[in-house]
Amino acid sequence: MTSNRTATGEPEGLRLSRLRKLDTSRIGTRVQPRIKPRGVPPALRDHLLYSTIELKVAESMGRSLFGRHRLSVLAEGQTGQGSPGATEEFCATWHAVRFRDVTLGHLDYGAAVEVVAEHPPKDWMLIMPMNGSATVSTPAGMTVASPIRAALPTPDGAGPLTLRCESSTSQLLVIIEHQALVAHLRRLLGRSMDEPLVFDQGMNLAVGRASRWNFAIQMLHAELLDSGSLIHQGVGIGQLEEFLMSSLLFGHRSNYSRQLEGAARPVEHRVTRAAQNFIEMHLAEPLQMPMMAEALGVSVRTIETAFRADLDTTPTTYIRDRRLERIRADLADAEPGSTVTETALRWGMVHLGRFAADYRARFGEAPSRTLRH
């Protein structure tokens, strides 16, 4: 029996692909776990990305989750270092699907383990054990996660992060790209952020306000499980991710909870939000500032002042950035035969050379590369 197999044969940089673009043709035949993983959600069972009984291979393949880290197998009740080699119990498996800015995955080590990541990635990782418990420690404190209590360490980049799992523990992971969540929060606030986003590290999944988050996860799972769902047709992925991020921001306590729950806003904030709503409704149309000012019943200067005070940007720059985000979403979900030019023109980008430069500066890649993924 082969001790470990990978989907790509490239342990240094395992890459998840977007939904519908995930090539599973090789996964079903090449990646076979040594033992059946515990608690894998039905929607993820056909998305096994790696399975190995070798610690060093598991460390390498797990860098997309924890960055460079040390993985140790612990004996029952052990608090020190674990065995450096393979064990009969240890079998690391990772099932996952990446949508666009959100990854849904299931991680199981099959044994009690300790993960120590000195500099974990800056993405948000919500850790939800399906069974057993896991202790998550960061400079901000320690949280014991269980099926009714999730852990959400703040990705401040300072590290370190230590994850200790019982032998009975397998866990559902929801990973949200840092900048995507921050940008979504700014849109909800209708202004720039005063300070970095910080969540409570422990999330009680049994309280009423967590029902939004639980429902969002169930919806994500149901859409993924149903092969005839809209997201399998490339429709609604962005909206579903935004719903998931909103559910987290409104359902879990953070330093922005009071503001999100309706703290009093100055007049400028209301003008900014009204302008943002108008922009969203007319984003694909030619947008002129006098037209927007007339529709809102304020002056152009009032809108510009509100955007400068609340978002530290101009209305023109905000419109451009929102169009770029919509274009990126359409390119990521594009059907065969779609082109960058027609997508950019559909969202009002008439200067294609400037658009390509702005797109690369914003997302770090050419629009044609997004389209190929």
Domain boundary among 233, 260, 287: 260
Say yes or no: 362 and 287 in one domain. yes
Domain boundary among 260, 294, 327: 260
Question: Token match 């989907």: residue?
Answer: 7
What is the full DSSP assignment across 293-314?
HHHHTS-HHHHHHHHHHHHSS-
Residue 158: predicted pLDDT = 61
The Cα–Cα gap between 31 and 46 comes to 10
Dihedral (C-alpha) 232, 235, 237, 240: value to the nearest 10 degrees? -110
Residue 108: predicted pLDDT = 94
In a domain, 78, yes or no: no
Paired with 50 in beta bridges are: 6, 94
Say yes or no: 301 and 358 in one domain. yes
The structure's pTM equals 0.71
In a domain, 222, yes or no: yes
In a domain, 218, yes or no: yes
In a domain, 281, yes or no: yes
In a domain, 306, yes or no: yes
Say yes or no: 247 and 284 in one domain. no
Burial 115-133 (b: 16+ CB within 10 A, else e): bbbeebbebbbbbbbbebb
Residue 189: predicted pLDDT = 81
**pLDDT lower than 70: segments of the chain:** 1-37, 76-88, 156-158, 262-268, 373
**Sequence-ordered list of residues with C-beta below 8 angstroms from that of 91, at least 6 positions apart, any chain:** 33, 34, 35, 37, 51, 52, 53, 108, 109, 110, 111
Residue 170: predicted pLDDT = 92
In a domain, 233, yes or no: yes
In a domain, 300, yes or no: yes
Residue 106: predicted pLDDT = 96
Residue 50: predicted pLDDT = 92
Residue 77: predicted pLDDT = 52
Say yes or no: 207 and 298 in one domain. no
Say yes or no: 236 and 284 in one domain. no
In a domain, 76, yes or no: no
Residue 10, judged by CB atoms within 10 A of its CB (0-12, 13-18, 19+), counts as: exposed
Say yes or no: 283 and 236 in one domain. no
Residue 330: domain span: 267-372
Residue 157: predicted pLDDT = 59
150 backbone dihedrals φ, ψ, rounded to 5°? -95, 165
Residue 266: predicted pLDDT = 52
Domain boundary among 198, 228, 260: 260
Residue 92: predicted pLDDT = 94
Say yes or no: 255 and 329 in one domain. no
pLDDT tens digit sequence for 300-326? 999 999 888 888 889 999 999 999 988
How many domains does the chain fold into? 2
